[in-house]
Structure 1
Amino acid sequence: MLAMIGPVQASPELDKYGKEVEKKVTLRYQAYVQSCPNNRPAYECSGLLIRGVGDPRGKHFNAWDPPRKGATHDTSFSYVRIGISFERLAYAYTNGYIVSPPGQEQPDQLQLQPTCFYPVDGASDKRSDKGCGAYEDKKDSSAPCVVSSDIVTGAKAWFEAHSPIDDKAYDKRCAFSLKGPDVTEAFMTALAVVERASEKTTVPNDFKVTSWTAETAGALPVEAFFYNDEDKLIGLPIAQFNQCRFKHVTGREVPILRRVVLLLNLEPFEHTIENVNPPLAEVYPALKDMAFEHGTLRAAVKSIAPRAEGLMAYNSFSYYSQDQTGVQRCSEVLSAAAG
């Protein structure tokens, strides 16, 4: 078993880039919007797409490879941002990676194509239509989610069909389609649902994008690898291996971020969320004229279901220079894992 690397000072270039990525990730996480400029869906400028991964050390796959089901299923991420209680990764993974938002990729990177979104995991690996369709033989119980020009109507329909939320009722959950002319309204409705639903379960949501191939995996717009701080002894060595392996395979050096989950009281959060309008234009100049509107979304969230009692799991992603691996240490990491 590969031991965790001790404190290592990152190169000045990686240190600078890591801090820039931390800022981008933090601003997107805190950007509470209901849509992006030109009536584009909120996930293009707000929130994070994260994917938990297993341990690839000594095995014949990379953390950023597509699922082994390949072309038969799209790939699952989780969508997280302020307002969504998000505590655990799928399968209780200790680490993973963050990708750039759809539409924000670099010219030489894969363009992510969202396909559908489950506010609570719907066991998409057992569904038709590449994970966005009916659950096995239960077609009548897992039709697509209702989308309406009035997002309150669509959100209420979801809760009427799925309340109380049973963590094991995967087969009955619907997916909001992220394709077609109604994608902005569909995702806005899904946001209203996932905010309230996430208070009532720790089951992650499921944001699906069209899968890539093993041959194109190196062009995936990986923004950073991360590990859970509470699982540092397990997650950090895997993240360090993934960072080194990614640099070795693709030539791109991306930082490792530390993910911390804070449990906050729901009520103070409700009073402060209205004031969270970060200066996204600092990292996305194209958004300089963006108006941060969220009144319709907040009204929908408040009206669709009773507020849960308890705490909200708030996520924080931070860059630490000592978590990174340099060129010499990467050679040691990869050699140890191969052995």
Structure 2
Amino acid sequence: MSRFWQHIGRLGQGLGLALVLAVAAALPAGAQSTHTASDLTDRYYNTAADCGGPSRPAFLCSGVIFRGTRYSTAYHSWDPSPTSVRTGGVSFSYLRADARFENLAFNYHNGYTVYPIFGAPSWAMDFNFVCAFPLDGATDARTDQGCGRRTDDTTNRSAPCQSIGVLTAEQWLSTYQPHNSSTGFRACGFTVADHTNPPQGTAYAFQQVIRAMNQLGPVSLGQQNEMRAATWAQGIGDKLPIESFFYLANAGDQALLDARGDQADYYRTTGRFVPVIRMTLPTANKNATFHYVDADQAIKPAAAAACPQYIERGGWTTHPGSPHLSLSLVPTDCARNVAASAAGAVFAEVQAKFGATPQWHNPAGMAAQLSCHIEIARHKAEWNLEPDRRADSPEQTRREDCNPPFV
């Protein structure tokens, strides 16, 4: 057995690999697969100075925002790390045709990209990006979500740029390059948070980050920049604006294995398909590239669904004698006659219709209950999915007559 399938076997525990693959196999490919690479490419080449005004910095609509991560079966890569929880901020990098670098922090070889705020799906929460550095800002050792003064700085030189009168790329370079030509560890970061009103606006401030990178030349090419987002809550993966799980094309087999592992883990946890993207970082003479490769996917969406519609109507309700909410669904005649392998397509429609409602949670458990209804209770007048029930494997859920214990 390959190392990848050993990873997937561990991921399949709980929800069950069979359901993970069956659900994903029926998802529409057009919505979130090949066009993702095109979207990333378009944004990479979009070198807009702003997104429509002085308070709309370029990262809201252009460039590729991503976070390098390490795959593990012990945690979800999209949940904030203990350090991010402690500091109140999460680190990202920003890649664009005029903001190039050829290495990732800590030798990461995979991670995830996020949708820009202007263009994100309706279900996705907005990340609150608060500051940006032309180079790695060593933000774990700073105050104020990683945007403030370094804890060992007695000069205040590393305080937010605008607060100490550093407003342009030229001022940033003249202040810091003579002291520290290769890193930004003791440099200031530019405030870009949408609730602030820095001199000349947040769009101007972020543009100085890009301008400083270009003036740094080879120094900038050899080291990633850094953006900080306010730390979000644990366990809300289905609300995060994750666009793709990427891996570096020249980083070896493990990079792809890890991206696949994250993709399968995310699907198992949230019920949402996110594509794996092969990314090549730019060099001095070549631009970055982004490719969707079907063979790279651990979860492979199909091109079309078996029925034009699976759910005729549905809604949240409670049943007499029970305090637990139930999503009561009336399937179409077509849905009552689909093969068990179509459970994924049915659940994708259910999630599209009800996933944004405040009652929605435990998609893994509801997916297992739905699969059970299709296999042993397809002709019931209503299919009732109860998110408060335990997320058991499909096999165990069938043994429980589609009704695992409440938790």
Give TM-score, length-normalised by structure 2: 0.62
Q: Structure 1 residue 156 and structure 2 residue 156: aligned?
A: no
Post-superposition offset of 1:86: 1.3
Do 1:86 and 1:315's aligned partners in 2 also have CA atoms closer than 8 Å? no
How far apart, CA to CA, are the structure 1 residues paired with 2:272 and 2:123? 12
CA contact (8 A) 2:70 2:77 kept: yes
Residues 23-54 of structure 1 show CA distances to partners (whole Å, capped at 9, x for unaligned) of 11110010011111244211111101111101
Question: Which entry has the higher C-alpha Rg, 1 or 2?
Answer: 2
Contact 1:77–1:206, Cα closer than 8 Å, also in 2 = yes
Alignment match, 1:47: 63
Residue equivalent to 2:227: 207
In structure 1, the gaps of 5 or more residues are 266-312, 329-334
d(CA) in 2 for partners of 1:131 and 1:138? 14
Separation (CA, whole Å) in 1 of partners of 2:270 and 2:111: 17
Question: Is 2:273 the counterpart of 1:253?
Answer: yes
- Over the matched positions of the two proteins, sequence identity in percent amounts to 29
Q: Which residue of structure 2 aligns with residue 83 of structure 1?
A: 98
Aligned 8 A contact 1:146 1:154 in 2: no
Corresponding position of 2:293 = 320
Q: Which amino acid aligns with 2:71?
A: D
Give how far 1:199 is off. Answer: 3.0
Give the conservation status (yes or no) of the 8 Å contact 1:15–1:321. no
SS at match of 2:250: helix
Report the residue type matching 2:297 in the other structure: Q
In structure 2, runs of 5+ residues without a counterpart are 6-20, 301-340, 342-392, 394-407
1:192 maps to 2:180:
no
Q: Could you tell me which amino acid in structure 2 is paired with residue 105 of structure 1?
A: A
Residues 186 and 168 (structure 1), Cα distance of their counterparts in 2 relative to 1, 3 Å cut: closer
Count of aligned residue pairs for this structure pair: 275
AA aligned to 1:24 is: D
User: Which deviates further from its counterpart, 210-219 or 108-117?
Assistant: 210-219
Structure 1 residues 239-248 or 98-107, which shifts more?
Answer: 98-107
The 5 A counterparts of 1:57-136 are 58-59=73-74, 61-69=75-83, 70=85, 72-136=87-151
Tell me how far apart the structure 2 counterparts of residues 114 and 262 of structure 1 sit (CA, whole Å). Answer: 24
- Cα offset, 1:196, TM superposition: 2.6
The whole-number CA distance in structure 1 between the counterparts of 2:126 and 2:244 is: 17
Deviation at 1:106, TM superposition (A): 2.5
Could you report, residue by residue, the CA deviation over 1:44-102 in whole angstroms, capped at 9, with x for unpaired residues?
A: 1110111110121x32x111111213153210100010012211111011101000113
* 1:12, distance to aligned residue in structure 2 (A): 7.5
Q: Residues of 2 paired with 1:186 and 1:38: CA distance?
A: 12
1:227 paired with 2:247, answer: yes
Alignment partners' CA distance in 2, 1:264 and 1:187: 22
**Conserved 8 A contact 2:98-2:210:** no
Answer 1 or 2: higher relative contact order, Cα 8 Å, separation at least 6.
1
Q: Which has the larger share of helix?
A: 1
Correspondence list, 1:282-297, <5 A: none
Q: Which amino acid aligns with 1:325?
A: A
**CA distance 1:207–1:198, change in 2 (3 Å):** farther
Structure 1 residue 216, shift from structure 2 partner: 2.3
Change (3 A) 1:161 1:148: closer
Residues 214-267 of structure 1: per-residue CA shift (max 9 Å, x gap)? 1323311100001011113110001001111101101110101001134343xx
Q: d(CA) in 1 for partners of 2:217 and 2:262? A: 29
Matched with 2:16 is none
Query: Cα RMSD between the aligned structures?
Result: 2.8
Q: 1:218 aligns with which of 223, 231, 238?
A: 238
Q: Secondary structure of 2:261's match? A: helix
TM-score w.r.t. structure 1 length? 0.74
Name the residue aligned to 1:263: 283
**Residues 291-306 of structure 1 correspond to what in structure 2 (within 5 A)?**
none
SS at 1:187's partner residue?
A: helix
